[in-house]
A and B are shown apart, each in its own frame.
Chain A
């Protein structure tokens, strides 16, 4: 029982991070129909910005929560600019090009970001400073760290905020319209370019908050972290049904469940990837368009 509760906490913690990253994938995909393979490396740059900014801020003010709040906001702003810049320079000229050339461009952007960081910051692994005081709660034999609660709470808060934004605000309605039919939306006076930029801003903001939370749970990172994160969050997004935000959240938690629970059942932990991907393939064979994905009707 204690074991299960402990693992549930771990699952929720990992799942909220995966969910946030998968949301970034899905929002951009829903609007531009682009699998943005640079997403993981944008996450990596966010982690570095988070590291440098929080290290510097800690020398200015001793209050951890103030530092945490300021870094989350500032990093989200910086990374949003980066993402929109990338979109304007690299993806926008390819609006009418074949889908795969944009995918390859996004791979190249990821490669570029990764090696720019390698060149100018270096390959040494770094450690994100702790921004949440080390407090532990004990429920029976279960250990819950304060940072775990912060991760889950912040992630849930962001998801709530996002769903309010998408469902209630005028911009959110415009985004949903553009996702449904970009041409019709532009005839209704919705600027397509603006919507695309907003999608990238939202994706980058969510990714950089995800980076901040990831840093609390797994403080050691290096420039190669983006690639792993990239494929895992892409998997989570696809699993839930790419383009669907609720699906991304579900996919994130499901992926985390597979990752956390399979070592419990398996004799050897190194079989984890085999089992995780085996289960994912099974799910996709049964539900070919993801868990919550709409079945698309093909027309000739």
Chain B
């Protein structure tokens, strides 16, 4: 069989070609393209939130504020400093870096404060951020920032999403990733085996903030305007819903959560207010029947699918018992 890496590469290139063809020949309407871009942007954000709320296991409500930082700083840079569209990725990157600094700032209280108390501090960050932006005149105050160059297209969203997925994967398999998972299980035990908990928290919060900031920048350049009210309570709740709907500590879960929630909200749009009622009921059902979220802490992988097919075949009697290779139906990380 092919090795996992080659299969992944082929899938990646195929998706890129399909997206290019769709974009270039305008096979699907602008509306559907817009939804696809939303899903991609939300997926980057959810990956970022998942690093702190999932992998690190700290209940944070700061993502809306961080997203605002990323959106505003990258918009200001692309509006006043690097106005040429060629520099667009640099603007997004710099926005992410500013957000990363904000992430460092939020990580400091987490050394001492725990649980719901930390949640309040991060919520405070979000609300303070919103209020500060409402009061700063040079970023438009409560009316927000207008005439941001609309540089985001499906290609950039796709590239950033792929980069985000690869970065998160590399991170989780790195030394810091192991420390993060150890911290999630038990902070004191991790400290006893000489995990530098403070450094790990700073790194994870910073990395998470970078991804959330990038998604904020992409969103601002997609809509070509941004205002403080976008990044309030609603964004806090929706971010949480997408993370836990998909399933924590899972890249697959992040993509699923963003995709399912964004699609659900769009598909049900003709129903008006009813869509939120249906969406909420479905969310409750998912939580009751799959408390770990849709992905439930597992990752989708070729090996996992092969194993699953094997186990199904075995169950319906197509394949004799084999002694190896089919001991689970999905690959746990």
Task: Assess whether A112 is in contact with B281, with CB atoms less than 8 Å apart.
Answer: yes
Q: Does B150 count as interface, using CB distance less than 8 angstroms? A: no
**Number of residues on chain B facing chain A (CB within 8 A):** 48
Alpha-carbon distance between A23 and B95 when the two chains are bound, in angstroms: 41
Task: Assess whether A300 is in contact with B116, with CB atoms less than 8 Å apart.
Answer: no
- Scan residues 1-22 of chain B and give those whose CB is less than 8 A from a CB of chain A: none
Task: Assess whether A112 is in contact with B284, with CB atoms less than 8 Å apart.
Answer: yes
Chain A, residues 81-100, CB within 8 Å of chain B (1/0): the string is 00000000010011001101
The list of the 10 closest CB pairs from A to B, nearest first, reads A97-B291, A112-B280, A277-B124, A115-B276, A108-B283, A104-B244, A273-B131, A101-B291, A111-B280, A288-B113
Contacts of A100 on B, CB cut-off 8 Å? 53, 59, 244, 248
Chain A, residues 117-128, CB within 8 Å of chain B (1/0): the string is 011000000000
Contacts of A119 on B, CB cut-off 8 Å? 272-274, 277
Task: Assess whether B128 is in contact with A115, with CB atoms less than 8 Å apart.
Answer: no
Q: Which of A98, A116, A288 contacts B292 (CB 8 A)?
A: A98
Alpha-carbon distance between A102 and B134 when the two chains are bound, in angstroms: 33
Contacts of B186 on A, CB cut-off 8 Å? 300
Known: A115-B280, A280-B124, A285-B112. A105 touches B117 (CB 8 A): no
Task: Assess whether A274 is in contact with B132, with CB atoms less than 8 Å apart.
Answer: yes
Contacts of B117 on A, CB cut-off 8 Å? 238, 242, 284, 288-290, 293
Q: Which of B38-46, B71-79, B187-195, B208-216 contacts A (4 or more CB under 8 A)?
A: B187-195
Contacts of A7 on B, CB cut-off 8 Å? none
Task: Assess whether B233 is in contact with A227, with CB atoms less than 8 Å apart.
Answer: yes
Task: Assess whether B123 is in contact with A284, with CB atoms less than 8 Å apart.
Answer: no
Alpha-carbon distance between A273 and B133 when the two chains are bound, in angstroms: 12
Contacts of B119 on A, CB cut-off 8 Å? 238
Alpha-carbon distance between A63 and B118 when the two chains are bound, in angstroms: 48
A254 nearest CB across to chain B (Å)? 13
Q: Does B173 count as interface, using CB distance less than 8 angstroms? A: no
A229 nearest CB across to chain B (Å)? 11
B33 nearest CB across to chain A (Å)? 28
Chain B, residues 280-319, CB within 8 Å of chain A (1/0): the string is 1101100110011100000000000000000000000000
Q: Does A60 count as interface, using CB distance less than 8 angstroms? A: no
Contacts of B121 on A, CB cut-off 8 Å? 280-281, 284-285
Q: Does B328 count as interface, using CB distance less than 8 angstroms? A: no
Alpha-carbon distance between A35 and B116 when the two chains are bound, in angstroms: 8
Q: Does A16 count as interface, using CB distance less than 8 angstroms? A: no
Task: Assess whether A273 is in contact with B127, with CB atoms less than 8 Å apart.
Answer: yes
Q: Does B279 count as interface, using CB distance less than 8 angstroms? A: yes
Chain A, residues 281-297, CB within 8 Å of chain B (1/0): the string is 10011001110010000
Alpha-carbon distance between A300 and B127 when the two chains are bound, in angstroms: 35
Most buried by A among B113, B244, B287: B287
Binding site secondary structure of chain A: helix
Q: Which of A94, A115, A234, A289 contacts B287 (CB 8 A)?
A: A94
Q: Which of A101, A115, A274, A300 contacts B189 (CB 8 A)?
A: A300
Q: Which of B109, B130, B279, B284 contacts A90 (CB 8 A)?
A: B284
Q: Does B202 count as interface, using CB distance less than 8 angstroms? A: no
Contacts A101-B244, A105-B283, A112-B276 known; list 10 others, CB within 8 Å.
A35-B116, A108-B287, A115-B276, A228-B233, A231-B123, A238-B117, A271-B131, A273-B131, A274-B132, A280-B124
Q: Does B120 count as interface, using CB distance less than 8 angstroms? A: yes
22 of the cross-chain contacts (CB-CB < 8 Å) are: A98-B292, A100-B59, A101-B287, A104-B240, A107-B237, A111-B237, A111-B283, A112-B277, A112-B280, A114-B276, A118-B276, A119-B273, A231-B123, A270-B135, A271-B135, A278-B124, A281-B124, A284-B109, A284-B113, A285-B113, A288-B114, A290-B117
Q: Does B245 count as interface, using CB distance less than 8 angstroms? A: yes
CB-nearest residue of chain A to B190: A300
Contacts of B36 on A, CB cut-off 8 Å? none
Q: Which of B135, B188, B273, B283 contacts A268 (CB 8 A)?
A: B135
Q: Does A61 count as interface, using CB distance less than 8 angstroms? A: no
CB-nearest residue of chain A to B108: A285
Known: A238-B120, A273-B127. A104 touches B288 (CB 8 A): no
A126 nearest CB across to chain B (Å)? 17
Q: Does B263 count as interface, using CB distance less than 8 angstroms? A: no
Known: A111-B276, A270-B135, A300-B189. A104 touches B116 (CB 8 A): no
Q: Does A298 count as interface, using CB distance less than 8 angstroms? A: yes
Q: Which of B135, B192, B245, B287 contacts A300 (CB 8 A)?
A: B192
Contacts of A107 on B, CB cut-off 8 Å? 237, 240-241
Q: Does A151 count as interface, using CB distance less than 8 angstroms? A: no
Q: Does A80 count as interface, using CB distance less than 8 angstroms? A: no
Most buried by B among A35, A115, A228, A285: A115
B231 nearest CB across to chain A (Å)? 13
